[in-house]
Amino acid sequence: MADCHTNTEAADAMFARYGAAMPDFGHWNATLATLMRHRSVRAFTDRPIPEGVVETLVAAAQSAATSSNMQTWSVIAVTDAAMRANFSAWANDQAHVKQAPLVLVWLADLSRSERIGAAQGREMITLPYTEMAMVAMIDAALAAQNATVAAESLGLGTCYLGALRNKPQAVAEALGLPAQCFPVFGLCIGWPDPARPSEIRPRLPQSVVLHHERYDISQEAAGIALYDERFTAHQRQVGLPPSGWVARMIERIGTMRGLNGREIMRGALAALGFPFH
Amino acid sequence: MADCHTNTEAADAMFARYGAAMPDFGHWNATLATLMRHRSVRAFTDRPIPEGVVETLVAAAQSAATSSNMQTWSVIAVTDAAMRANFSAWANDQAHVKQAPLVLVWLADLSRSERIGAAQGREMITLPYTEMAMVAMIDAALAAQNATVAAESLGLGTCYLGALRNKPQAVAEALGLPAQCFPVFGLCIGWPDPARPSEIRPRLPQSVVLHHERYDISQEAAGIALYDERFTAHQRQVGLPPSGWVARMIERIGTMRGLNGREIMRGALAALGFPFH
C-alpha cells in the first residue's frame, strides 16, 4: 500500500511538472516528494510561525555546502510589519509580502570577511574581485534553497522575492547593512491559505535543459514548442491570460520594462562595495 | 521508539554542526534529516549511477523556484572519463573529480533566451545587464542545490566543484558552450566509499550569521572566537593541521594565491558573452 501510494504521488508530481514529456524515473522517497511538490505560495493565513522554526531553517541553510567553508552569507529574519510593508512597496506592491509573517533576507556578505581580516591587521585583498562576489551570491543561494526545502517539509509555503533587487540601496539602508553586504533576494514564508491554493507550475522538458557530455540544442526548438502549448493550457487552468511562455519571455527579457528598474544593478553593487574587479 | 530515534538523530546532527553553540530547535522529519546530515564527499566507490537517477536529480532541480519562470540555466551530465580527467587537471588535480562516475556541470544559460527571441525576430535587449547574469547564476545555484539534496536522499555523495571556475573558457570550449552560457560550478556525484568516510563539518554559530530585524554584529567576535576553537578541534579530529578557521580565511581571502587564478573572472565572463552592463 505504501509503495502504491508513493508511486502514485510520484507520478502525479512528475505529470504536473512535465505533462506528456514526463521523464522515465524510478526513485522516490519523502525528501524527493518535498522537492518535487514545490510550488510558490503567494497567499498566507494569519497563523504565526512557531518557535524554533527560524533556527531550524537556518540550521538547514548552514548545512548546505559553502565554497572553501568561507560562509560568506548572512540572513536577516524580518517579522516587523512596517518593514514588510516597505518590502512590499519596493516590490511593486506585491500583497503577499505584507501578508507573510516572516521574510528572510539573504545577504551576500563579504563584510564579515573584511572584519575578520581587520581584527588580525590583514587586508583581505581578494574581496573586490568578481569571483568573490559570485561566491557570496552562490553560497547565499545554496543556503536559501536548503531553508526553502526545510520550510516546505514542515508544511510552510514560500515565495522568493527577487524584487528586493528593484531597490538594493534602499533595502541595505533600511536593514542597516555595512559595505560589502548585498541583499540578494528575500524569501517570504508563512502557512499557505487553503482557500487560495497555488498549483505546481510546469517546466521545460528535460530534453531542453539536460545535456549529455556536451551542449546540444538539437531537441530544443521542438521542446520549447511543446512547452509553450503546455504552459498556455496551465495559464488557462489557473485563470491567467493564455499568452504562452515564449511571449512572456519576450516581454520579460526583450523589453526594458521587464527589468523592473534593475538596469541599475551594476552601479548599485558598486555603491554597496562590490566593484566587480 | 521512532520519536526517540528521531530526536537522537536530530541532536547528533545539530551537535556535529554547532557543538555547544547548538540552537534550540524542535522540528524534525526525513527531509530535515537529509539536509542536516550533509557532508561533502571526496571518496567514491566504483559502483555506477543507476538508471533514472540523472533524470530524477534534474526533475528535483527543475522543481526549484526560478526567477519569473525564465529557467535561465542548463546542466550537462558528464560521465566521459577523459572529460572528468580534464576537469580534475583544471581543478588542481583533485583526485575525486576523476573518481566520481558523474559530474553535473551547471550552466548560467542566457543563450537559450537569445535563441527564443531570435526565432521570433526579437532582440532580447536585457541580456547584457548584470541583473540577468545574476538571475542566471542564482537560478542555477537553486537548481543545483535541489539536485544535491535529491542525490543525498538516495544515499549518493556529492561535492561541489567551484574549481571549474579556475578555467572557465577551457571548460566552455571543451563542452561546446555557445556564447552567453557560463559554467558556474560542477557537482561530483557517486557512492561514498565507506572505507574513507567524511565528517559533518562544523559551521559558525547562528549568532554570527542570523540577524533579527536589522544587521547586528554585537555577538560576532565572540561567536567567531568560539568557532575558531571548535574548527581547530575538528581539524585535529580529521587529521588535518590544526590551523584554525581564521588563519585559513586569511590565507584564502587575504592572499592572491587564495583565488587560484580566478582573478581573471571578470574578463573571462566578458569573453563568454556576459558584459555585466
Is B132 within a domain? yes
Which residues on B lie below 8 Å from A62 (Cβ)?
17, 203-204, 206, 209
Contacts of B225 (CB under 8 A, 6+ apart): none
First to last CA, chain A: 58
Q: DSSP E strands: which ranges in chain A?
A: 73-78, 102-109, 157-161, 181-190, 210-212
Q: In this predicted complex, what is the ipTM?
A: 0.97
> Which residues on chain B are in Cβ contact (under 8 Å) with A50?
26-27
**Residue B208 maps to a domain:** no
The pLDDT score that the predictor gives to residue B259 is: 94
In a domain, A216, yes or no: no
Question: Sign of the CA dihedral B267, B273, B276, B277?
Answer: positive
How close, in Å, is residue B80 to chain A by CA atoms? 7
Distance (Å) from the C-alpha of residue A187 to the closest C-alpha of chain B?
Answer: 11
Distances (CA, A) of A189 to A55, A154, B138, B180, B209: 14, 11, 19, 33, 19
Residue A176 confidence (pLDDT): 98
Average pLDDT over residues B76-86: 98
Which CA distances in Å does B166 have to A66, B30, B222, B265? 17, 36, 35, 8
Least CA distance to B216: which residue of chain A? A176
Put simply, the answer to whether A162 touches B67 (Cβ < 8 Å) is: yes
Which of B183, B172, B104 is closest to A138 using CA atoms? Answer: B183
* Cβ pair B153:A32 closer than 8 A: yes
Minimal CA separation from A73 to chain B, in Å:
7
3-state secondary structure of A106: strand
The answer to whether the CB of A99 falls within 8 A of the CB of A47 is no
Q: What chain B residue is nearest to A182 in terms of C-alpha separation?
A: B215
Instruction: Supply angle C-alpha A136, A139, A140, rounded to 5.
Output: 85
Place of cell 503546455: A230
Q: Which residue in the block uniquely carries the three cell numbers 581543478? A: B91
**A211: closest CA of chain B, how far (Å):** 5
The CATH number of whichever domain residue B150 belongs to comes to 3.40.109.10
pLDDT in tens, A208-243: 999 999 999 999 999 999 999 999 999 999 999 999
A249 vs A235: CA distance, rounded Å: 14
Please answer whether residues B6 and A30 qualify as being in contact, where contact means their C-beta atoms are separated by less than 8 angstroms: no
Q: pLDDT tens across A134-187, in order?
A: 999 999 999 999 999 999 999 999 999 999 999 999 999 999 999 999 999 999
- Most A CBs within 10 A among B111, B120, B134, hence the mutation to make, goes to B134
Whether B207 is covered by a domain: the verdict is: no
Q: What is the DSSP string of A180-218?
A: TEEEEEEEEEE-B-TTS---PPP---HHHHEEESS---T
- Distance CA(A30)–CA(B177), nearest Å, equals 36
Q: Do A129 and B30 touch (CB under 8 A)?
A: no
Specify the residue for cell string 497563523: A47
Amino acid at B230: R
Please indicate whether, in this complex, the C-beta atoms of B149 and A31 are within 8 angstroms of each other.
yes
pLDDT at B6: 64
Q: Does the residue B204 lie in any domain?
A: no
Interchain pair B141, A138: CB under 8 A: yes
Structural domain count of chain A: 1
Question: Searching chain B, which residue's CA lies closest to the CA of residue A124?
Answer: B254
| pLDDT grade for B58, boundaries at 50, 70 and 90 | very high
Q: Is residue B192 part of a domain?
A: yes
C-alpha cell at B217: 554584529
Contact A55 B25 (CB under 8 A): yes
What is the band of A5 on the pLDDT scale with cuts at 50, 70, 90? Answer: low
What residue numbers bound the domain in which B169 lies? 53-197
> Nearest-CA residue of chain A relative to B82?
A213
The answer to whether position A222 is within a domain reads no
Residue A199 has phi, psi (to 5 degrees) of -105, 155
The pLDDT tens digits of the residues spanning B132-185 come to: 999 999 999 999 999 999 999 999 999 999 999 999 999 999 999 999 999 999
Closest-CA residue in chain A for B128?
Answer: A263
Is B201 in Cβ contact with A245 (below 8 Å)? no
Residue B64 covered by a domain: yes
pLDDT of residue A2: 40
How far apart are alpha carbons B72 and B63 in whole angstroms? 14
User: Which of A14, A34, A40, A263 to mutate to test binding with chain B, by most B CBs within 10 Å of its CB?
Assistant: A34
